Structure 1
Amino acid sequence: MGSRGPALPQLVLSDVERQTLEGWSRRRSTAQALALRARIVLACAEGLSNMDVVRQLRVSPPTVGKWRRRFVEHRLDGLADEPRPGAARTITDEHVERVITATLEQAPPNNDSHWSTRSMATAMGMSQSAISRIWRAFELKPHLVQTWKLSTDPWFVDKVRDVVGLYLDPPATAMVLCVDEKSGMQALDRTAPTLPIMPTTPARRTHDYVRHGTTSLFAALDIATGTVISQHQRRHRHQEFLRFLKTIDANTPPELDLHLVCDNYATYKTPEIKTWLIRHPRFHLHFTPTSGSWLNLVERWFAELTNRKLRRSAHRSIAELETDVNAWVAAWNDNPKPFVWTKTADEILDNLARYCQRINDSRH
C-alpha cells in the first residue's frame, strides 16, 4: 500500500537554530504569532507529521504546512512576516526631516508663539494627521513649556552636600527639622455654595471668589517621624520667625541638638536672630542654596497641605482658615508619614551637570 499524501520536506535544525526557536517560544516579550511559528517548527523537527502538529498545537493544517515550508526554504528568516501589499508610501524621509527641522529651528510664519499641527501642516503642504504622527514618533510637543532655574549660589555644591548629608545620615543625638513658611495663604470664599459630587457629575464650584485676608504658616517637619510643629503668623518678619524658634524650642526634647534646614530668607539672618541663636547653642541652621527650595523637605509637606486641604476649601475669615489648617495638621500628626530622601549629593550634582551639558550643546 502506497504512502498517503505528499512527502513532507525534510526539516533538520542546527544547534543555533534550535536555541533561537526555543528562545522565541519561551520569551514573554516575543510576539505571540512568532512564538507559535517557533513551536510549529520545533514540533516538526521532532519528526511529527503535519496532522500530529495540528492536534498537538490546535492549529489548522494550512498553518502548519505554510510555516514548515517557509522554514525549509528560508530558515529563521522565513518565520518573519512578509511585506504586505498596499499603497506606496507618500511621506518620505525627506518630508519627515523637513518637519522636524522646521519644528526645532523655525518660528511659525503667522507670528504665533509656537507651531500647531494645523500651522505646520499648512507650511509643509501635508495633512494635519501626518504632522501629528511625526511629532508623536519623535516626542515633539511644541505646545508644552517647562520651567527651570539654575542656582547662582557660589556655595551651591557645599550646601547641597550639607543638606543632603543631614537627610541621609542625620546625627544620632539630634533632631533634623526642615523649616519654612507658607506665606500669603488666602482665606477664600466662593460666591455660591459648592455643589456636591453626583453620579456622572463632579463637584462644582463657582470660578469667582471673595478674599477675606491672608495669613502665614510657619512649619518645622521632623524628617525622622514626619510630625510637624506649626504656628500661624499674620506677618512674616524676623519677629515672627523668632517667635516660631521659641515654639520649636518649647516643643522639642531639651537634651537634643536641633539642626534646622532653612532657605535664604533675609529675616533668618537678622542681628536679633543671630543673637538668639548664640544664646541657644543647641540650634544649628543649615541653609539651602539660592533658588534651591526643592532641597527643603517641608516644601513637600506644604504640597500635601495644598492638595489635600487648601485647594478645595472655602473660608469666610482668616480665623476660620487658621482653625481649619490647625485641625488638618493635628490629624496629620496623629498618623504622620515621613518623606524619605533617596538621592545622594553626587547623584544630584551629576544629574545637574548632564543637564547643563545638554542645554549648552543644544544650539537653541
Structure 2
Amino acid sequence: MIRRAFELKPHLVQTGKLSADPLFIGKVRDVVGLYLNPLAKARVLCVDEKSGMQALDRTAATLSVMPTTAAGRRHDYVRHGTTVAALDVATGKVIGQHRRRHREFLRFLKTIDANTPPESGPHLVCGNHATQTRDRTWLVRHPRFHLHFTPTGSSWLKLVERWSAELTNRELRRSAHLRRRRTRSKRRTWIDAGHDAPQPIVWTETADEILDGVKS
C-alpha cells in the first residue's frame, strides 16, 4: 500500500557511470562534431573491437524447454573467436571481420584501408584500447587515417555499439557455434543482409546538450 501510494519501485535499479577522463569535454565535442558535421570527403567509421562479444559453443547440448521446466544449458563453453566492426556513419554499412584473437587491430586497419577509396580520409571513432606499437607505426605510414577516441567509460558515444547489440541479441546470445567456419559465415551473412537495405543510425544530440546533462 505504501509502495503504491508513493510510487516506490524497490525491484528496479538504475545504474550509471560518469567518466573521470580529464579530456572528457574535448573528446565529446570532437566525436559528436564528427557525427553531426563531418568534414568534406571524410568517411567517418565508428570502430568497435568486441573482445566480449564472442561466438560460444556449450560443452554439452542445450536441453529444450519443457512444460514446467526451463531450458537448461551448461555454464562452461568453448570460445570460437570475436568480432570487430566499423560502422559507416553516413550509410549504415559495416566493414566486419571475424578473428580468433582480439589483439589484431592492425589487421583490421588494413581491411579498412582496402575497403575505402584512396581519396577519402577515414576518421575512426575508437574506444580507449591502447593500440600496439606496430599499429602506431602503420598509422604514421598512412597519414590519411585519423583516430578519434571516446572518453573512458563512455561507450555510449560509439554508434557501432547499437549494431553490436543487435548482432548479439539476434544471432549470438542463445545460439551455439560448433565450427569457426560456420560462425564466420553467419556473421558474414548478417553483415551482407544489412548492406541490402542499410539504415544509418542517426546521432541527434549536440555536444552542448550532452554536457549540460552531465552538469545537472
Normalising by structure 2, we get a TM-score of 0.90
Q: Which moved more, 1:205-214 or 1:338-347?
A: 205-214
Instruction: Specify which of 157, 179, 182 is matched with residue 295 of structure 1.
Output: 157
Instruction: Specify which of 17, 22, 30 is matched with residue 162 of structure 1.
Output: 30
Deviation at 1:322, TM superposition (A): 2.2
Which structure is higher in RCO with an 8 Å CA cutoff and minimum separation 6?
2
Partner of 1:320 in structure 2? 182
Larger radius of gyration: 1
Question: Which protein is richer in strand relative to its size?
Answer: 2
Matched, 1:341 2:207: no
Q: Trace 1:212-361 onto structure 2 (pairs within 5 A).
A: 212-237=78-103, 240-266=104-130, 268=131, 270-354=132-216
| 1:191 counterpart letter in structure 2 | A
How many residue pairs end up in the alignment?
Answer: 212
Structure 2 unaligned residues grouped into runs of 5+: none
Could you tell me how far apart the structure 1 residues matched to 2:116 and 2:65 are? 43
SS state at 2:17 partner:
coil
Q: Deviations over 1:310-361 (max 9, x none)?
A: 123222233322221121111112221110000000000101111xxxxxxx
Residue identity over aligned pairs, in percent, reads 60
Partner of 1:179 in structure 2? 47
Cα pair distance change 1:195/1:331, threshold 3 Å: farther
Question: Which protein is richer in helix relative to its size?
Answer: 1
Q: Trace 1:79-90 onto structure 2 (pairs within 5 A).
A: none
Any conservation in 2 of the 1:212–1:318 contact (CA below 8 Å)? no
When the two chains are superposed, the root-mean-square deviation of aligned CA atoms in Å is 2.0
Could you tell me how far apart the structure 1 residues matched to 2:100 and 2:114 are? 21
Deviation at 1:147, TM superposition (A): 1.6
Q: Deviations over 1:38-94 (max 9, x none)?
A: xxxxxxxxxxxxxxxxxxxxxxxxxxxxxxxxxxxxxxxxxxxxxxxxxxxxxxxxx
Q: Deviations over 1:95-153 (max 9, x none)?
A: xxxxxxxxxxxxxxxxxxxxxxxxxxxxxxxxxxx22322xxx3322222222111110
Deviation at 1:291, TM superposition (A): 0.5
Any conservation in 2 of the 1:259–1:286 contact (CA below 8 Å)? yes
| 1:132 counterpart letter in structure 2 | R
SS state at 1:145 partner:
coil
| 2:168 counterpart letter in structure 1 | T
Partner of 1:6 in structure 2? none
Matched, 1:131 2:2: yes
Could you tell me how far apart the structure 1 residues matched to 2:78 and 2:37 are? 44
Normalising by structure 1, we get a TM-score of 0.55
Any conservation in 2 of the 1:213–1:318 contact (CA below 8 Å)? no
Structure 1 unaligned residues grouped into runs of 5+: 1-129, 355-364
Runs of 4+ in structure 1 over 6 Å off: none
